[in-house]
Amino acid sequence: MKSNLVYFDYASTTPVDPRVAEKMHECLLLDGNFGNPASRSHEFGWKADEAVEKARLHVANLVKADSREIVWTSGATESDNLAIKGAARFYKDRGNHIITSKIEHKAVLDPCRQLEREGFEITYLDPDENGVISLENIKKHVKDSTILLSIMHINNELGAVNDIEAIGKFTRENDIIFHVDAAQSTGKLPIDLSKLDVDLMSFSGHKTYGPKGIGALYVRRKPRIRLEALIHGGGHERGFRSGTLPTHQIVGMGEAFRIADEEMEKDNKKIAKLADLFWKEVSGIEEIYLNGSFKNKIPNITNISFAYIEGESLIMALKDVAVSSGSACTSASLEPSYVLRALGRADELAHSSIRFSFGRFTTEKEVKMVAETTKRVVHQLRELSPLWDMFKDGVDLEKVEWVTH
Amino acid sequence: MYSRKVIQKFEETLNNPQAHNVGRMDTNAKNVGTGMVGAPACGDVMRLQIEVNDKDVITDCKFKTYGCGSAIASSQQMIEMLIGKTLEEAKNIKDREIAELLELPSIKIHCSVLAEDSIKKAIADYESKKT
């Protein structure tokens, strides 16, 4: 890769930690651990199975679960699908109502849309102005027919954190299955599933310095949660998810989660410092707005709207910096971020948002460089912006009659 | 997603706005026509101003554009095509020409459409002042 390119998009994916890559290499070649973990008849299989179970333990340890509660999947998207469609279809005789929020990842929203086509009724909750789903809002929308609630732990665009402890207490008392998409959480916030009343939790390998193409779903044993499988063929993973286990991917995710458990505190301290520095540097720019709230977000993600500048042009001007506007899955479209829209942001602010996300390998030098570049190009783009002129002239943009095309 | 031409035009304009006709003219001047099109909600707003002499030739242009890189490059491309043209010639500039010159992908065609619209509006504004 070009060495002058700075990576500030850790929320979309992370590089694999070198220690993880090393473990993965050991599971590929003839003289390595390449066997099929499902082979019971020879040592190649036993050794692979051992590595898979060790990795399962590492994942379980990070979130204080029993390793028998961890099901391997191809990633958080599959985990979300399995949790939501699997639970809804299995428990459909209990009711047909599901609650989620408008700012979930598409991996939650799209399975919900599919369930609507199958006759389920879905309520999409509004977040508050900072991107948080309140328990009060959930309570207001629960019905006798509600069987499932799916709420993310940390929002991927804003870094906003939901109170899954309080929400879990409520869902447990009311016999509602609680699924949490925790793709953004591992290694950033401690998770203790021995205390939380969460029934299903999705994890991703590649958001936590593991490889892409691997994830896991936590499926609670006590009280036992059952699911209708999406993929059949061999009955792997106790029937929840068939398919030969990819040893190298699993070992990679296991090692990544083991490191996360060990180094979370160190990583977080460093990233919090860098995030403070970044905000200190850029917050002097006129007319910028933090999306989300410092009181309730992880420092890894800083999402800023730069008023009177269009986001795509800002990304293009920040050419040596890899950032994203909104979620990477939707940034190919011209639509402003649906997450920012749901917060009630005006269109021009939703159009102008940039997500800066930091990680384990971000340096202070990079933060200073990106802050400087941001200040410079924001000024340059505003020189080009007729809206900036109008703002400076005191024109109220809300009152202008625009000629749309 | 962006052609080399779009990136080049965008960067030239960004780094040296004065030399690339970024700016504003006196909206009330008799020899100036102003056309502003687009909306913040759609993610692009283009303001084009033309200065016209008594032979109906466009002698100078200024613009400011809020929008993606293609919108800014389209504005720049449009300016290059406008200066020195008569109003009648300018009226015949088509969005397709701009799109082809910049190799705009189909998802960005609206940027060149916006440019054509701004030319029409600026000329109409100028002509309304003359009558």
Percent of chain A with pLDDT over 70: 96
With b for 16 or more beta-carbon neighbours within 10 A and e for fewer, the A174-189 pattern comes to: eebbbbbbbbbbbbbb
Q: What is the pTM of this model?
A: 0.93
Mean pLDDT, rounded, for A27-54: 97
For residue B110, give the nearest of A316, A380, A405 by CB distance.
A405
Residues with Cβ within 8 Å of residue A365, at least 6 apart in sequence: none
Q: What is the mean pLDDT of chain B?
A: 93
The pLDDT assigned to A15 comes to 98
The pLDDT assigned to B43 comes to 84
Chain A hits for B39, Cβ within 8 Å? 402-404
Selected for mutation to probe chain A from B45, B108, B117, B125 (highest A CB count within 10 Å) is B45
With b for 16 or more beta-carbon neighbours within 10 A and e for fewer, the A202-225 pattern comes to: bbbbbbbbbbbbbbbbbbbeeeeb
Contact call for B14 and A384, based on CB within 8 A: yes
pLDDT at B28 > cutoff 90:
yes
Chain A hits for B5, Cβ within 8 Å? none
Q: How many CB atoms lie within 10 A of CB A116?
A: 12
The pLDDT assigned to A3 comes to 65
pLDDT at A396 > cutoff 70:
yes
For residue B69, give the nearest of A316, A346, A397 by CB distance.
A316
Percent of chain A with pLDDT over 90: 88
Contact call for B117 and A309, based on CB within 8 A: no
Examine the residue annotation and report whether A112 is marked as an active-site residue of this protein: no
- Nearest C-alpha of chain B: how many angstroms from A403? 5
The pLDDT assigned to B130 comes to 84
The pLDDT assigned to A330 comes to 43
| Length of chain A (residues) | 405
CA dist A116 and A93 (Å) reads 16
